[in-house]
Amino acid sequence: MKEFYFLIIGFILGLAFYPLIKNYLLNKITDKFTDNKKVQQDILKEIYKSNKENNILTIDILHKKINIPISNLLKILSKLISLNYVYLSDNDIRLTNKGKEEAKDIINKHRLLESYLFEKTSTKLKDIHKIADKKEHLFNEEQIGIIKNELSNPCIDPHGDILDENILDENITSFSKVITLGYCQENEIYIVKHIEDEPAEIYEHLVNLDLAPFDKIKIIKINKDYISIINDKGKKIDIVHFYANNVFVSKMEKNEKLQNYFDFLLNHEIITLDKLKLRNPGLIIGLSFYIRGIQRQRLMELGFIKGNVVIPMYNNSISDDPRAYKIKNSIISLRTEQASKIYVLDLLSLNNINQEKIKELINV
């Protein structure tokens, strides 16, 4: 009789907990599938990168890059070969055309997700790459289309990479002239094309220096310890050579107007808005690249654009933060965190220089 009662109780408990058990098993199966898919796509990306750089990629080298047991790696490689994604050529692992297209697709998804996290979320910059790397395998084409529409079909990711790897391949000659900052020459002007996001510690340091993709920079001085530059917002930055290897630039053509602009920046002190004295008019030289998404759009709509004049009117009576600024006949409240990313020229520091001439000079 006891056995019968236990059987009935077991049956009732099974019915009660069936949805939980079902979900648990499904999640386990899904996790296993996702992990396998992630590893396969990570392997394809690694092979693509190696092939693109014309490096030899043996199984031993790939094993060091992909942190899984060698037996699992061999099984996955065997599967990728059977799917016509990969082939071996004299112990060098290569992608087929089908494999290249698959690798490009996942790289494009990764860059798009980085752009979304950069523009639409408050994710810390140092975490964006890691999160995109984890989530890139989970999105289908319909979801990717929705993200593209929400971002108005962006072309560049937060590190300066073109979102469509196929476009990069088609224009490979224009990117062959890209060099690292360490190979630059003094007194020449360059544009930052890409900032490598790994290792994360170096990337975070470069971000804290406010060095960003699309910055125009002039090399002031190079010595054995560091490279001294000034960017087009007037910020002077010293970068040690080890970190300079993570910054990729392209030399700009000779341009007298741009040269005159940098000469002007070098001869005048550019400060951030939070450092501008009360009641002193400041000419906006530029906004940091790292003012992101909706915040950037709001500031620009309020008038915080290059060439406009802003005046600090008064501080918060208790903490000096936020601070009130006058711009285009409106009073706007900004916190130090925002104001410290807006670069200005104190107009009262100038000696008999026409403001309109300055605006014309900085309009490059």
Greater model confidence, 105 or 198: 105
Whether the pLDDT of residue 4 is over 60: the answer is: no
Q: Are residues 235 and 273 in the same domain?
A: no
Residue 167 domain flag:
no
Residue at a domain's end among 153, 171, 203: 153
On whether the CB atoms of residues 50 and 89 are closer than 8 A, the answer is no
Residue 351 domain flag:
yes
Q: Are residues 278 and 210 in the same domain?
A: no
Whether the pLDDT of residue 141 is over 70: the answer is: yes
Of the pLDDT bands very low, low, confident and very high (cuts 50, 70, 90), residue 31 is: very low
Greater model confidence, 35 or 337: 337
Give the chain's mean pLDDT: 86
- Please state, in angstroms and rounded to a whole number, the distance separating the CA atoms of residues 159 and 151: 16
Residue 260 domain flag:
no
Residue 48 domain flag:
yes
Residue at a domain's end among 254, 289, 311: 254
pLDDT tens by residue, 60-119 = 999 999 988 999 999 999 999 999 999 998 889 999 999 999 999 999 999 999 999 999
Q: Are residues 131 and 41 in the same domain?
A: yes
Residue 31 domain flag:
yes
Whether the pLDDT of residue 132 is over 60: the answer is: yes
Residue 32, pLDDT score: 45
Of the pLDDT bands very low, low, confident and very high (cuts 50, 70, 90), residue 187 is: very high
Q: Are residues 207 and 282 in the same domain?
A: no
Whether the pLDDT of residue 29 is over 50: the answer is: no
Q: What is the dihedral of CA 266, 267, 268, 272, to 10 degrees?
A: 10
Structural domain including 304 reads 268-362
Q: Are residues 133 and 208 in the same domain?
A: no
Of the pLDDT bands very low, low, confident and very high (cuts 50, 70, 90), residue 126 is: confident
Q: Are residues 250 and 273 in the same domain?
A: no
Residue at a domain's end among 221, 254, 287: 254
Q: Are residues 202 and 325 in the same domain?
A: no
Q: Are residues 20 and 141 in the same domain?
A: yes
Mean per-residue pLDDT for 224-234?
Answer: 96
CATH number for the domain harbouring residue 314 = 2.30.30.90
Whether the pLDDT of residue 174 is over 60: the answer is: no
Q: Are residues 199 and 97 in the same domain?
A: no
Residue 142, pLDDT score: 92
Q: Are residues 240 and 292 in the same domain?
A: no
Q: Point out which residues pair with 180 in neighbouring strands.
A: 248
Whether the pLDDT of residue 33 is over 50: the answer is: no
Residue 62 domain flag:
yes
Q: Are residues 38 and 143 in the same domain?
A: yes
Q: Point out which residues pair with 31 in neighbouring strands.
A: none
Residue 174 domain flag:
no
Total domains, the chain? 3
Name the percent of the chain lying above pLDDT 90.
65
